Amino acid sequence: MGIDIEPTGAAVGAFVNDLQLGDVDAPTGVDLLEALGEHGVLFFRDQDLTPEAHITFAETLGEIDVNVFFAPNDTYPKIAEVRTRPENTYVIGEAWHTDHSYETAPALGSILVARQLPSRGGDTAFSSMYAAFDALSDGLKETLRGMRAVHSSHEAFGIGVAKMPESERAERFQDEFPINPDVVHPVIISHPISGRPVLYVNRSFTTRFEGWTERESRPLLEFLFEHGSSVEFTYRFSWEPGSVAIWDNRCTWHKALNDYRGETRLMHRITLKGCPIAA
């Protein structure tokens, strides 16, 4: 591989050294996708990535999937703004989740660029669903392989957004957006790039198991949610000016840490379209 990969030493993530994303060509893009499938998250430092270059780089990796919920950047509608102002109490994405699991073809990955950072805090935590699957007992692995789960955008983007203060809701989310019909995915999927088995549920969007009620599903889902966030599967990334993170939504969870009250944080996110996933 023609790129310099340095694993974090944790269960998830690797740093890519000596590569400017604005200069990435198609063959290097293929290498990056292969590395993404292996490590789950790729981190980059000291990048000089304009919004135009952000879009161009994303299109080198795949087709852009514009999020219908987030408010877009006024000048660059393919870029979603993830903004926290000093007066905000809620941080977008502060619960463990994987982007777009509520879609029939879940997102391949997301590319997050730091634009304005607080003086302290504002890290993002990632967790490996490869490692989460590997650590399950053989009996539970076998049980879960035969199960499917329902993923829904209604709780997070319907009920959840409606509960937010109007001032926060108006700036950070679209005025009106469709709530997608619920979708069903295997609980254990085969990763489209690596072929490895992955635990594919998440707290924000998985509501129940197919054929089970929500009440029946809750104890097992809660166990899986707690299991997937175990510290031994995670890595906490500290943002700096010029930092970029790319994560694979099929094999990782992530969450934004809400620990910088009274300060501003602005990130630009582009999401890449994926494909239907299978067991």
Of 91, 96, 78, the C-alpha closest to 118 is 91
**Annotated active-site residue in 54, 65, 83, 99:** 99
99 is catalytic: yes
175 is catalytic: no
Separation between Cα atoms, residue 217 and residue 158, nearest integer Å: 21
**Annotated active-site residue in 54, 100, 172, 269:** 269
Query: DSSP string covering 202-230, please?
Result: -TTTEEEETTS-HHHHHHHHHHHHHHHT-
**Annotated active-site residue in 54, 83, 97, 250:** 97
Separation between Cα atoms, residue 3 and residue 1, nearest integer Å: 6
Write out the two tokens for 228: 């997937």
269 is catalytic: yes
**Annotated active-site residue in 172, 254, 265, 268:** 254
Q: Is the dihedral of CA 150, 172, 111, 42 positive or negative?
A: negative
Question: Do 244 and 49 contact (CB within 8 A), yes or no?
Answer: yes
Question: Do 201 and 149 contact (CB within 8 A), yes or no?
Answer: yes
268 is catalytic: no
Active-site annotation, residues: 97, 99, 254, 269
